[in-house]
Chains A and B, each alone.
Chain A
Amino acid sequence: MAHPDNLRYRETHEWVRVDGDRATVGITDHAQHELGDVVYLDLPQPGKTFSQGDVFGSIESVKAVSDLYAPVSGEVVEVNDALISAPEGVNSSPHDAGWMIVLRLSNPSEVDSLMDVQAYEATFGGH
């Protein structure tokens, strides 16, 4: 299975890993495969707040720029600065080292609105 079963997924291809009130956010293996080689990331500063579905940043692969959507509402408390200088980490480790931001959840019940791995892979396939 290409996508871990301990994450929740949005239809716009972001994943969330929840730990207490912290939600780590990245994009899925399926998404990085579709994007191709990632060359640039535009991520928000800590302290910014987003509602579920807001655009929180942009990702550029060799051939396309795509919006990144907040899968849940919250305040940015951490940003993966290492990824900004080496964005290819999104391709090589989308679910681990390729995490993008950590949000402090403002509405934890939103996590329940996201897909589990079975639903995500049923919609978009294992890759």
Chain B
Amino acid sequence: MKPLSAATDPAVQALQGRLTGRPWQVLRTGPADGATNMARDLELLEAAAAERLPPTLRFYTWSPPAVSLGRFQPEEGIDRDYRAARGWDLVRRPTGGRAVLHHLELTYSLVLPPSLVAGAGVRTSYAVLSRGLNAGLATLLGRIPCPNEAGACDVPVSTQKISGSCTAEETFVRSCTAPKGITNCFALASECDTLVPGGKLVGSAQVRHHGALLQHGSILLDAEPEAWTALFGTAGRLVTLRELLGAVPAQEVVERAVVAGFRSLGIPLES
């Protein structure tokens, strides 16, 4: 499937134009358990669907750490005993995609009302929203993460077969046929994700509800790959800000960078 070009696609340009026309709020809701975090995102989505919420960028973390499953993802293939032994929650997201371990990370969510989404498609909206997110991360990294229209990241080559004719490498870079049996969000990548050399820095997912949009995603500040392997059978291609920056950045620093990234698109976010 041909990626959308953020620079030239008219629907992408139109959505970006709409997003700059109204003030956005930033919510910092701090740490909470998995059920509370997902309930808050759903409340925001419902309020947005009723046009009772300004466009919103929310930041939060998870305490205790939690595994989130995609909306329709079976629990099968995720080590329940390991998770329970660590005292970690299990929660289902309203969004699609595969499982994420929310530990040593920062989660963002973006909530847009129907009047701004105006029927913009999933890939169109990712193209705009990933642009803001990636521009923000670029200010931290001093380089731009793989933009979503780039298919050619410098990811280590692997020839491990996962399913059908896809190699692990192809599967990771292009998510070419969404192979079954992969439980870990960070073992797959699509044009919607934030990729850096070596793998994936941010995993994002969306849901649409009555014309409103919720996109949330996990920004890896640090990681415990052994825990991902224990839970999902593979750590995937985790790349963390600690690896890229040499130290774990303060949460506030990452938040400020992401806010700055959206402002660089002309989106009026309050601080």
Chain A interface (Cβ < 8 Å from any Cβ of B)? 11-13, 30-31, 33-37, 39-40, 42, 58, 60-67, 88, 124-125
Contact = CB atoms under 8 A, between A and B. Distances in A.
A64 B206 contact: yes
Given A63-B122, A64-B96, 17 more contacts: A11-B119, A33-B1, A33-B123, A34-B122, A35-B121, A35-B123, A36-B122, A36-B190, A58-B71, A60-B72, A60-B96, A63-B96, A63-B192, A63-B206, A64-B95, A65-B207, A124-B119
Given A34-B124, A42-B72, A64 B207 contact: yes
B11 A62 contact: no
A73 to B, nearest CB: 18
5 contacts: A30-B121, A42-B72, A62-B188, A62-B192, A65-B206
Interface string B140-181: 000000000000000000000000000000000001011000
Nearest to A42: B72
B71 A35 contact: no
A31 B205 CA distance: 17
Given A36-B190, A67-B209, A67-B210, A61 B177 contact: no
B49 to A, nearest CB: 10
A67 B49 CA distance: 13
Interface of A is mostly: mixed
A22 B119 CA distance: 27
Contacts of B72: 40, 42, 58, 60, 65
A59 to B, nearest CB: 9
A33 B123 CA distance: 8
Given A34-B121, A34-B123, A37-B175, A60 B70 contact: yes
A59 B177 CA distance: 16
A30 B207 CA distance: 18
A124 B124 CA distance: 12
Nearest 9 A/B pairs, CB to CB: A34-B121, A64-B206, A66-B208, A64-B122, A65-B96, A60-B96, A65-B207, A63-B192, A40-B72
Interface in B53-88: 70-72
Nearest to A63: B192
Contacts of A35: 121-123
Interface string B196-225: 000000001111111000000000000000
B50 to A, nearest CB: 15
A60 B123 contact: no
Contacts of A88: 177
Contact of B208 (A30, A42, A62, A65): A65
Most buried by B among A39, A66, A88: A39
Nearest to B72: A40
Most buried by B among A36, A64, A88: A64
B126 interface: yes
A33 B126 CA distance: 13
A62 B1 CA distance: 12
B34 interface: no
A63 B126 contact: yes
A34 to B, nearest CB: 3
A2 to B, nearest CB: 14
B15 to A, nearest CB: 12
A36 B123 contact: yes
B119 A63 contact: no
Nearest to A60: B96
Contact of A37 (B1, B95, B124, B126): B1
